[in-house]
Amino acid sequence: MAQGTPRQDTPETLTLARPASPQQLGAVSTPQQEGAGGDMELLLDSGGPAAQGEECRRQPGPSARPRRYGCSVCGKAFSQSSTLIVHRRSHSGERPYACEECGRAFAQSSGLAKHRRVHTGERPHPCPECGRRFGKRSNLAVHRRAHTGERPFPCPACPKAFARRADLAVHTRTHTGERPYRCADCGKGFSTGSNLAQHRRTHQPDRPYRCTQCGKGFPGSSELLRHWRSHTGERPYRCGICGLAFTHSTVHRRHQRGHLAESPYRCGDCGRSFAQRSDLVVHSRTHTGERPYHCPDCPKAFAQSSHLATHRRSHTGERPYRCPDCPKSFAQSSALTVHRRTHTGEQPYTCAECGRRFHRSSNLIRHQRTHTAERPFACPQCGRRFHRRSNMVVHQRTHTRAKGCRPPASGDNTCWGTLETETPTATEPR
């Protein structure tokens, strides 16, 4: 280097601090004065006052080795030159250790060694409880909480606690409503990155996985498999407590929380509890009467978007759920499930009183009234009660022969609401 030319720092340049003189250290208290265990570290930067011996600063630490190697970019100091070299890569972006299998690069050789286990399958950290092995010691530590029951990350808003900090972060979004993962195509927000990734597939024009029943295409095989169950009626996820079966694993897990008393969201009107805030929001509409999902083809409105989607098939005539045993098709997957029992002979609903079995739960409920003598359907005109709604509708025709109005079918109260509240005048025919 020519004399008088200023030195240019490079990522390889190490700044070695000059030892301070006793006079320069005279103003600094000794470890004994500050308390046992203290030590002295010189935080230096090239060209700065500390490099000239004009200033030094003491910080307590476990090691007595001075930190003489200072970073010229951020001022952080280290006791070993090799540590400084690794640190400087965080500024330069240098990653000299590349994986021969996939090309992924790392700043430290230890990072590369851990990454190679992905390719070799090596899992050097076994669990002493169950023998399951892990590639990282930190993953083993999290896994062991499944045996100890330790949940060190409690939610500040509800009684729930979690074994991982990441799970707590995702859970708190159910309280805050935060959806930090936003779709760049439609703007829809999601609480987890995995949900966003699954949603993004709906925008992909290429859908190579096609359903042989209805021709609908899907971007992934897992989506096609879930869709295929809507045709077959398969429900592979069964609750071990009550026996209910589900098509999706996520719905199954949500259901099980109800048995485990993990229902922190309580309704202020009736006291019923729910495992997720979204379920509470839907339930609250039964009290408020809110129906935010309106049909564009008729005046009907619905409390849930899924109910609107099912209703719209009554306008389009779409019946996407086909029976594999006969030509029949259905607008709802639940209707297909019930129909298939006519082929299999399955009768899963048993009366506890007489042992009679039924295809549908609604038939069982209706049958049980023969044992309890319950008559839940009352005539609004005379108060007479009936076992079945259909019997009540037939009875009500004896009260309503005027104006050509008929009793309601499937909840349509047009004109019927007036007849239920009005009494015939003297001029009207009886």
- Looking at domain 153-288, its CATH class is alpha beta
Q: What is the CA radius of gyration of the chain?
A: 36
Say how many C-beta atoms besides its own lie within 10 A of residue 419's C-beta: 21
Burial of 409 (0-12, 13-18, 19+ CB in 10 A): exposed
Interatomic CA distance for residues 82 and 369, integer angstroms: 82
Contact 249, 237 (CB under 8 A): yes
- In one-letter notation, the amino acid at residue 213 is Q
Note the pLDDT of residue 28.
Answer: 36
CATH architecture of 43-122: 2-Layer Sandwich (3.30)
- Separation between Cα atoms, residue 397 and residue 82, nearest integer Å: 94
pTM: 0.34
Q: Which pLDDT score, from 0 to 100, does residue 259 have?
A: 67
Low-confidence ranges of the chain (pLDDT < 70): 1-64, 205, 257-264, 401-430
Beta bridge partners of 126: 133
Delimit the CATH 3.30.160.60 region(s) of the chain.
43-122, 153-288
Of 429, 404, 424, the C-alpha closest to 414 is 404
CA angle (135, 139, 144) in 5-degree steps = 120
- Check residue 260 and give its pLDDT: 59
Answer yes or no: are the C-beta atoms of 157 and 174 closer than 8 Å: no
Q: Which stretches within 56-189 are classed as H helix?
A: 81-92, 109-120, 137-148, 165-176
pLDDT score at 229:
80
pLDDT of residue 298: 93
Q: pLDDT of 283-311, one tens digit each?
A: 888 889 888 889 999 999 998 888 888 89
Residue 131 and residue 318: Cα distance in Å, rounded?
Answer: 52
Q: Are strands 105-106 and 97-98 parallel, antiparallel or unpaired?
A: antiparallel
CA distance 66 to 16: 11
Amino acid found at 246:
F
Which run of H or of E encompasses 153? strand 153-154
